[in-house]
Amino acid sequence: MLVPEVTEQDVRNALREIEDPEMGTSIVDLGLIYEIDVTEPAVVKIKMTTTTRFCPASGYIADAARQRIEDIAGVSQAVVDLVYEPAWSPDMVSLFELPKT
């Protein structure tokens, strides 16, 4: 059976479904995803952060990201690296996703 090639955009779209429970906004649109690596077949590695180092939902968010990535066709393993450098700031929020006023 032919396994589909997974792209960075596939991963980004999947992660967009996960909301930060405190902010109510996608972890992608908040700028919490720093890096997506799809160079290894069937393995996706991401570097991500949370809005603060002491975020009580950090484990939940990282687990949700891993599970959602592993649900993508063609992915057998997701590696989620939770990092805090650079520190997240509101400047990282994706402006094109905010409602237009």
3-state secondary structure of 68: helix
Cβ proximity of 14 and 39 under 8 Å: no
Which residue is it, tokens 């649900």? 71
Q: Is 0.95 topped by the overall pTM?
A: no
Name the strand (E) or helix (H) holding 61: helix 58-70
Does pLDDT of 1 surpass 90? no
Q: Is the pLDDT of residue 51 over 50?
A: yes
Q: Tokens in use for 88?
A: 């997240």
pLDDT of residue 100: 43
Whether 50 shows a pLDDT value over 50: the answer reads yes
State pLDDT tens for residues 5-43. Answer: 899 999 999 999 999 999 999 999 999 999 999 998 899
| CATH architecture assignment, domain 8-88 | 2-Layer Sandwich (3.30)
Predicted confidence band of residue 99 (pLDDT cuts 50, 70, 90): very low
